[in-house]
Amino acid sequence: MANAMLQQTVGGTLQLLSNSGTHCNVGNRSVRLLPKGFKLEVEFPKRAIYSSGKRKFNVIQASTSQTSVVGPLLAPSSSDTLDSHMKSNEVALILIRHGESLWNEKNLFTGCVDVPLTNKGVEEAIEAGHRISNIPVDMIYTSSLIRAQMTAMLAMTQHRRKKVPIILHNEDERARAWSKIYSEDTIEQSIPVITSWKLNERMYGELQGLNKQETADKFGHEKVHEWRRSYDIPPPNGESLEMCAQRAVAYFRDNIEPQLLSGKNILISAHGNSLRSIIMYLDKLTSQEVITLELSTGIPMLYIFKEGKFIRRGSPVAPTEAGVYAYTRVCNFLSALLLICHGPV
């Protein structure tokens, strides 16, 4: 999106002008940038504050948000500018559901079975990396499953900092000794990756490996829907969403939240149900609201952590219940426009 600038007119109209045409969809909104520019009509309850440049947006302060948050740069001139868009008391939390797996493709219940990504899943992970390439990342947390780890690793190949994600092996003393890095310069150019089974997908019990359609035909669509989408009813010998949430949220509170409090920017690459559980905690959703939440594979979700509070900046694009995780505010829409729609520059 070269030579673009953001401007606001007196009447509350927001204009995004571009020399090159492009088109994107955000939720149910369609935006097309024409060579001569376009007008995006947005009603502002109070004045919006922004800054602009020849090739990048530096700051967007959403007028409907109680707290100003800073948006990602679209085209930074160097890696040194990566941190300039984050205020000193703000850190980023990025959530990514892994890309399509081989069992997603085959319509099988996967759960905790460890299967890799498809070619489409690889492409989704790389595209996710493009979308977060300007957001600083200091630590990465993934589940113990390869599809989540592949997604994180592939995404970070697109990051402008070009730091190397390295999985930490703390299984025992030998693992720690054998994986030790002896160069301080190399450590500075690395990002620690911490894996935990507590971020795994929920265990689907006796459904794992079964075809979803055939299972619905055998047990009835209503029963299978109950196993998949209820909050506290587990499949046979498996976990309910409530059970998954207990371990995933506890791990987030005990291990990840302290890192955010210390000023670290965090990426979590995990699964539909473990991430739904964490989002339930972040957004204070009810058990009824969370069961309607659907997360798309490979779509990053951004939160700003500031003064002990999580501020949502981007929403999933999958179907959701209105008002739970949808583009209902100007800040969500503008954030999504910047975070979700722009491609590599």
CA separation for the pair 280, 269 (Å, rounded): 16
Mean pLDDT of the chain: 76
> Is the pLDDT assigned to residue 147 strictly greater than 90?
yes
Strands 164-167 and 22-26: unpaired
CA separation for the pair 69, 90 (Å, rounded): 8
Domain count, the chain: 1
H helices of the chain, in order, are: 102-105, 119-131, 146-156, 173-178, 184-188, 212-219, 221-229, 241-251, 257-261, 272-283, 287-290, 330-339
Q: What is the pLDDT of residue 314?
A: 74
In angstroms, the first-to-last Cα distance of the chain is 7
Q: What is the pLDDT of residue 14?
A: 41
Q: What is the pLDDT of residue 318?
A: 44
Question: Was 98 annotated as part of a binding site?
Answer: yes
CA separation for the pair 271, 273 (Å, rounded): 6
Question: Was 101 annotated as part of a binding site?
Answer: yes
Q: Which residue segment(s) compose the domain that 96 sits in? A: 91-313
Query: Does residue 276 fall inside a structural domain?
Result: yes
Query: Which range, of 231-240, 271-280, 321-330, averages the lowest pLDDT?
Result: 321-330
- Among this protein's residues, is 201 annotated catalytic? yes
Question: Was 170 annotated as part of a binding site?
Answer: no
> Is the pLDDT assigned to residue 135 strictly greater than 50?
yes
Query: Does residue 269 fall inside a structural domain?
Result: yes
CA separation for the pair 213, 125 (Å, rounded): 27
Question: Was 272 annotated as part of a binding site?
Answer: yes
Query: Does residue 145 fall inside a structural domain?
Result: yes
Binned at pLDDT 50, 70 and 90, residue 218 comes out as very high
Identify whether the C-beta of residue 336 lies closer than 8 Å to the C-beta of residue 71: no
Query: Does residue 142 fall inside a structural domain?
Result: yes
Q: What is the pLDDT of residue 188?
A: 95
Question: Was 123 annotated as part of a binding site?
Answer: no
Catalytic residue of the set 85, 98, 159, 342: 98
Catalytic residue of the set 127, 201, 239, 289: 201
Instruction: Write the DSSP symbol of residue 145.
Output: S
* Residue 271 dihedral angles phi and psi, to the nearest 5°: -130, 170
Rounded CA Rg of the chain: 21
pLDDT, tens only, 177-206:
999 999 999 999 999 999 999 999 999 999
Identify whether the C-beta of residue 226 lies closer than 8 Å to the C-beta of residue 220: no
Q: Residues 75, 79, 85, 87: what is their CA dihedral angle, to the nearest 10 degrees?
A: 180
pLDDT, tens only, 6-51:
343 334 434 444 444 444 444 444 444 444 443 444 443 433 333 3
- Among this protein's residues, is 98 annotated catalytic? yes
Give whole-number Cα distances, 14 to 23, 42, 50, 91, 330, in Å: 17, 6, 11, 27, 11
Q: Which amino acid is at 203?
A: M
Q: Determine the average pLDDT of the residues in 228-249.
A: 96
Question: Was 201 annotated as part of a binding site?
Answer: yes
> Domain with 169 in it: what CATH number?
3.40.50.1240
Question: Was 27 annotated as part of a binding site?
Answer: no
Query: Does residue 161 fall inside a structural domain?
Result: yes
Q: Residues 158, 161, 166, 168: what is their CA dihedral angle, to the nearest 10 degrees?
A: -130
pTM for this prediction = 0.70
Give whole-number Cα distances, 150 to 63, 136, 167, in Å: 38, 19, 11
Q: What is the pLDDT of residue 3?
A: 41
Q: Determine the average pLDDT of the residues in 209-225.
A: 95
pLDDT, tens only, 65-109:
222 223 332 333 334 444 444 556 899 999 999 999 999 999 999
Q: What is the pLDDT of residue 84?
A: 46
Burial class (CB in 10 A: 0-12, 13-18, 19+), 266: buried
Question: Was 111 annotated as part of a binding site?
Answer: yes
Question: Was 159 annotated as part of a binding site?
Answer: no
Question: Was 329 annotated as part of a binding site?
Answer: no
- Asked whether the CA dihedral 172, 174, 178, 182 is positive or negative, the reply is positive
Query: Does residue 22 fall inside a structural domain?
Result: no
